[in-house]
Structure formats: C-alpha cells, structure tokens
Structure 1
Amino acid sequence: MRPFEAIVEEHGARVLRVCRAMVGPVDAEDAWSETFLSALIAYPRLQPDSDVTAWLVTIAHRKAVDILRARSRSAIPVEEVPERASALGVPDAGDGDLWASVAALPERQRLAVAYHYLGGLPHRETAELIGGSTDSVRRAAADGIAALRKTYTTGTDEGTERRSS
C-alpha cells in the first residue's frame, strides 16, 4: 500500500476543489482537513483495488455536508435581538394552572415527574439525579401524576381535558 502522504499529494488539490465547490472558500480548508483526517484513519482498511479518487471525493462530500448542516443550525448574527416571551418547554402555555399544579407537588414528586415525563429520562437515571432507589423514584413519579390527574381529568364526552372542581 502506498504511503498516505503520497495519496494526499496526488489527490489534495482535487479534494480541495470539491470542498470549495460545496462549502465555499471560507470553510473549504476545514472540510479538506476533516476529509484527510478521516481518510487517514480509514486508509489501512482500504482495499488495494479501491478507487482512491472516488473514495476521497465521497469522504469530502460527506464532510462538506456536515459543515453545511452545522452552518444551517448556527445562529445568524443580528444587530438587535427582539424581546419575546418563549413558550418553549411550557405545555399548553395558556394554562398557568397546570404549571402551578406541578409546582405545588412535593419536591421529590415534582422532580420525578419533571425528569421522567418531561425530560424523558428513565427512572434509573432520575434516581441517580435526585437520589434514592429506582423503585422509590418510580413511585414518586406515579404519585405525582396521580395528584395531577386528580386536578386535571379527561372528559369522556368531549375527549378534551378539563379542570375538575
């Protein structure tokens, strides 16, 4: 197998052109570097009869796509950030009574409900966070949900939630 340095010398300019075409001149060198770092790691497993050019261009394409995805998720700088209230993480943001009911739960129940039902953590991980056994956290979460159900019941006729009196 040829030394990897020879592969970089032979195909480096081509890979850079692909990267520039995909991500532009600003991010092209990062994509190029990422391509050859990945290629260096995978090179020992490359079959002797493989098309090295196609292999490197494929890696470059994937690295460029990664950069484009990251770019699309990054914040866009603005002169002035608008002030807005966020409803993120607020189930049914118009129902402050629900949040008040959750806040009124005993601390252990509130944390168990928050971490397990709202945060999606398994009971085992919730127990590691708040202390106690998995079974005790499971019980606290169930008790918290039972207390909330006493306050909020499901209407059988309308199929909507309504507040109990």
Structure 2
Amino acid sequence: MKVRPFEEVVARHGATVLRVCRAVVGPVDAEDAWSETFLSALRAYPDLPADANVEAWLVTIAHRRALDVGRARSRRAHPTDTVPERADPTADPAHRDPDLWPALQRLPDKQRLAIAYHHIAGLPFAEIATLLGNSPDAARRAAADGIKTLRKHWIEDEKP
C-alpha cells in the first residue's frame, strides 16, 4: 500500500477531526485543537504503519489534543473587576466542617490524595494516576474506596 502525502490526509480527514474537536471542547477552541492534532500527527506520520487506520489514528489524537486544549483553557486566568483581599477560608471543606480533617487523616495516603486531587482540585484521574504513580483505574478506585471509607468514618464519628 502506498503512503499518501500528508496534505491528502489533512484534506480527507480534516472535517472529521474538526467535528471531534468541536464535540470535546466546543466551537470556540475547536480550531486550536484541530491545529494541535495535525501538528502532532505530522510529527508521527512518517512512523505510521502503511496499513494503519488513519482516520481512527487521527480521531484518537484529536480527542487527546482537544482535552489538552480544554484543560489549558480552564487553567487560564480570568480577568475580574475586584480582587479579594484574601482567600475565603470557608471555601475549604475542612474549614466548613472541622470534623472532616480528622476523618480524612485516617484514610490511607493514596485514598486521601485521590479524593483531594479529584474532588477538591478537580483533576482528572489520568493526571491523578501520574501524581500517585499508578493507573487511572487505580486512581479512580482509590478515590471511590476513600469516599466509601470516609462515609463510614463520618457515620461512626456522628454516633454519640
């Protein structure tokens, strides 16, 4: 099978990649994700096996690049008219309920960190897995087990 020039690949699959990007990040950031997709694809294209499913390969890259663009957008600073003098201490769940910290401290480290990273910081499990040195499934499981244990501790602490 003859390998097509990259320009033909872009022409043939560009619309599909753009639809994937729009579905993942919306119309505002879709073009950035589309561009990132084809930049990544261009770098890897020479090593792509001749019998590879190019469209599936591009859709996989598009999905990942769109997620990256969406994460980058969520981390950008947003201008505001007023800046608070200091952070609102009631935003911290442990401050709203001082009994929460002792219950969190009793959790194993990976469970406590998975809960903090996901439910408090809002990180996806793939990033949590990198931080904890395990797989995304293990990070998801640690967070779920931690919440289950936390609920159990919470109920025990509430008993008179």
Residue type of the alignment partner of 1:10: R
Q: Distance in 2 between matches of 1:11 and 1:59?
A: 12
Structure label with greater radius of gyration: 1
Greater relative CO (CA pairs within 8 A, separation 6+): 2
Which protein is richer in helix relative to its size?
Answer: 2
**1:15-26 alignment, distance < 5 Å:** 15-26=17-28
| 1:100-155: CA deviation from partner (whole Å, max 9, x where unpaired) | xxxxxxxxxxxxxxxxxxxxxxxxxxxxxxxxxxxxxxxxxxxxxxxxxxxxxxxx
Aligned to 1:8: 10
Note if 1:71 corresponds to 2:73: yes
Distance 2:43 2:10 in 1: 13
Q: Structure 2 length as normaliser, TM-score?
A: 0.51
In structure 1, C-alpha distance between the alignment counterparts of 2:11 and 2:72, rounded to whole Å: 28
Q: CA offset at residue 61 of structure 1? A: 0.5
Q: Does 1:38 align with 2:69?
A: no
Amino acid at match of 1:73: R
Identity over the aligned pairs, expressed in percent? 73
The runs of 4+ residues in structure 1 deviating greater than 3 Å are none
- Residue 61 of structure 2 is aligned with which of 42, 59, 73? 59
SS of 1:48's equivalent? coil
The aligned amino acid for 1:20 is R
Deviation at 1:56, TM superposition (A): 0.2
Aligned residue pairs: how many? Answer: 86
* TM-score normalised by structure 1 residue count: 0.49
Mark the runs of 5 or more structure 1 residues left unpaired by the alignment. Answer: 86-165
* Aligned-residue RMSD, C-alpha: 1.6
Distance of 1:68 and 1:9 partners within structure 2: 25
In the alignment, structure 2 segments of 5+ residues that lack a partner are 88-160
